[in-house]
Amino acid sequence: MLTITKRFYQDESDLAKIVELINDCEAVDCLDEGTSISELRRMLQNPILDLSRDVCLWEDSDGKLVAFADVWLKKTAEFLESTLGFSIHPTARNCNLEKEIVAWAQRRSREVASKDKLSVKLRTSARAKDKSRVSFLDSCGFQVERYFYRMQRSLLEPIPEPQFPSGYIVRHPNHHQEMVAWIEMFNNSFIDHWNYQPLTIEEFEYEISDPDYRNDLDFVAISPDGTFVAFSYCSINSAENQRKNCREGWIQCLGTIRGFRKQGLATAMLLTGMRSLQAAGMDTALLVVDTENPSGALRLYESVGFAPVYKRIFYVQEVQVCQQNSL
């Protein structure tokens, strides 16, 4: 029987161990969830994470890392949004470690939520084909809440010319001068979507501080009266492409504010983003979409040639709040 010791993330000396664990899992599971030190380092720099409390590691008696988990905590007016991610080495699965990880995430969430007397929604996800994880989540009280597709479209095929309504301007945003207007547009575009959480200045600054951020892949549509009304924000993860030996680009986010929908802006902005990835030398465009998106995003993506690659299931669990320590 394994003897497991739990501890918090310490510093960058842990990165190589975590990457090795995640890639060992990927070699067995084939879920397209591999990583590299540069990708993991970037993820852990996110300001949402408290590295001293929100990232936990489990090691065996030889000091080998057998599990890694992170919990992403964001407060709303009514509840704490808590999102759990975790990886368990194939040799350490089905030994109660899965339950221990969920229990840790519950305790950490309660600790943070109890300070403001908030309720907790603990969320996590699984690839639909990951039958073992799906079965585990079902068994410990998680409820299916939503389904998302990863979709892809070849950029080697022709992309139609975008058609914008008369009087609209499309250009690259100047985030140093226009950040507030861009964030307001983003939030107004997604306020009626599932699990909407307002984007903050701190979070957006983190996004555009990415060494891979490219302004030439970032577009905003401006109405004749000067209002920011739609956007297409694309990205190229150079470390991921190098690791996978591919040329993939992402439609990172696409949106149109209410009152300006059903005018063809979303289609035009999507095509603009696709053409920018094509011009950057990518041969495949990727995106993620809520299968029940209320504004018809799935139909939009299908209409320009995107097709599902796989389905991801999102789960939620209501956590009863009480004051507890996180370890």
What's the whole-number mean pLDDT along residues 180-192? Answer: 96
For range 298-307, the mean pLDDT? 97
pLDDT at 327: 53
Write down the pLDDT at residue 322: 62
| Domains in the chain: ranges and CATH | 5-146+314-319 (3.40.630.30), 160-303 (3.40.630.30)
Provide the pLDDT for residue 1: 60
Q: Quick check: 69 and 53 in contact, CB under 8 A? A: no
- 301-308 long-range contacts (CB < 8 A, ≥24 apart) are 301/151, 301/153, 301/270, 303/267, 304/153, 304/159, 304/160, 304/267, 304/270, 304/271, 304/274, 305/153, 305/154, 305/157, 306/151, 306/152, 306/153, 307/151, 307/152, 307/153, 308/149, 308/150, 308/151
**In which residue are the tokens 């591999």 written?**
34
Residues sharing a CB contact under 8 Å with residue 215, sequence separation 6 or more, in sequence order: 172, 173, 175
Tens of pLDDT along 215-246?
Answer: 999 999 999 999 999 999 999 999 999 999 99
Helix %, strand %, coil % of the chain (to 5): 35, 30, 35
How far apart, in whole angstroms, are the C-alpha atoms of residue 327 and residue 324? 9
Place of tokens 């004051």: 323
| Per-residue pLDDT, 170 | 98
Q: Which pair of tokens denotes residue 284?
A: 């495949």
pTM, 2 dp: 0.93
pLDDT of residue 321: 83
**The 169-171 sheet, strands edge to edge:** 5-8, 55-59, 65-75, 79-88, 119-127, 307-319, 143-154, 284-290, 248-256, 228-235, 218-222, 169-171
- Alpha carbon distance, N-terminus to C-terminus of the chain: 22
8 A C-beta contact, residue 91 and residue 21: no
What would the two tokens of residue 264 be? 């063809």
Please, which residues have CB within 8 angstroms of residue 196's CB and are 6 or more apart in sequence? Answer: 190
User: pLDDT tens digits for 110-140?
Assistant: 999 998 889 999 999 999 999 999 999 999 9
**Range 158-183 average pLDDT:** 96
Q: Reply yes or no on whether the pLDDT at 247 is more than 90.
A: yes
Q: How many angstroms separate the CA atoms of 68 and 22, rounded?
A: 8
Question: Residue 311's pLDDT band (boundaries 50, 70, 90)?
Answer: very high
The string of DSSP letters for 68-81 reads EEEEEEEE-SSEEE
Mean pLDDT confidence for 39-44: 97
Q: Which of 86-90, 139-143, 181-185, 319-323 has the lowest mean pLDDT?
A: 319-323
